[in-house]
Structure 1
């Protein structure tokens, strides 16, 4: 055996030992790396779980606070709502009147009791300024008692006129008409068209002369504005 071979053989156990030690060291390092990595992963998981728990708790607290705030707001608003409800209950509903004005969208051109050259005596009714041909409606339900020219018997100053008797023993008269659409004895309802306005009789311009009377004939008129006001108009 050569000297070189002997040296190799002699070195072999030492070499093998060194290789083994080196391999063991490398293995330990590798294992340590795996452990560190595992520990890091575990720490990240734990951190994530903790963060999730904190977020969930914060969300729950926020919802709880919002519920409390909503409840407090409802408590504050409850008295206001009750007060409004009480007011609504205590306020009586406005009753619809069974009377109405005889023409729509008209202005008053002369009132009851007015004096002047246009009338022999003080004005016995209320004048509504409307154009010729405007619909005239019954101010209240009743029965037609008089119609025709010459004020339906009340005199030429009224021109064409209609008189209606009502259940409360009052009468309404509609004068200076251009057309009459009802006849004596006919029953009419509130708001029913009974004539067209005009400029007949003693009239200084197109209008409707309206009277409220205690009887069917001239001389029994009362203030129509006060009467209609008493009926809620």
Structure 2
């Protein structure tokens, strides 16, 4: 074979080798591009999934926060209602504490407006049967305006008596006492001892005669039990 032919064959083989290498490179690039594309697709999907998941979590968190706020508001309303319910009896109890029973350990006998031979018309107060010497206290705070024998000025039928003027314009009267412990002009508090019960005056047995009046004098009495109930005190 001549040198020219050999040279031509060598060049041809070289060209073919270069073409094969180039083709292989292009194939690798194509494969690499496909791999990049394939790799890019899951990443995008993951990002989208993460975004949706985050939104769902945000909605759930907001719903949970709203539910918690509603629950707290409900509890606050319930607590407020409970406080209001407790405050009402407490207010009534406080009101009642300013008025007290004039004696303890009593039995109610003759009542207001009751008819009987012992009274000129009808009974002017409420009788509490108690032993002689039972402590008698002021039913409400006020100032003593009458105290002493002869019904403290209202007549011998009451025996020893005391009348107290109260700040609301009412007066309380305590009669048939065995002993008077206060004087006219003295300021007394609710529950403070003012006398001892007895059987003086027009009395059929040991008891306290108790009246509520609109003035300090006889003839202005009102139903004392109804009055005290209006003040929150039940006898």
TM-score (norm 2): 0.63
Partner of residue 165, structure 1: 165
Alignment of 1:89 with 2:83, yes or no, is yes
User: What's the Cα RMSD here?
Assistant: 1.9
Other-structure match for 2:115? 115
d(CA) in 2 for partners of 1:84, 1:134:
47
1:103 is paired with a residue whose SS is coil
Q: What's the counterpart of residue 222 of structure 1?
A: 222
Task: Tell me the matched-pair count.
Answer: 156
Structure 2: unaligned runs, 5 residues or longer: 1-70
The within-5 A match list for 1:171-186 is 171-186=171-186
Aligned residue in 2 for 1:141? 141
> Distance in 2 between the 1:176 and 1:153 partners?
13
Distance 2:84 2:120 in 1: 51
1:64 paired residue number: none
SS of 1:113's equivalent in the other structure is coil
Q: In 1, distance between residues paired with 2:81 and 2:205?
A: 49
For residue 110 of structure 1, give the secondary structure of its aligned residue in structure 2.
coil
Structure 2: distance between partners of 1:171 and 1:99? 12
Counterparts of 2:139 and 2:80, CA distance in 1: 36
Alignment TM-score, normalising by the size of structure 1? 0.63
Asked whether 1:125 is paired with 2:125, we answer: yes
* Pairwise CA distance, 1:90: 3.2
The match for 2:201 is 201
Q: Alpha-carbon deviation of 1:85?
A: 3.7
Distance in 1 (CA, whole Å) between partners of 2:105 and 2:81 is 34
Regions of 4+ moved over 4 Å: 81-84
Following TM superposition, by how much is the alpha carbon of 1:105 offset from its aligned partner in structure 2, in angstroms?
2.1
Q: What are the residue-to-residue correspondences of 1:26-65 with 2, within 5 Å? A: none
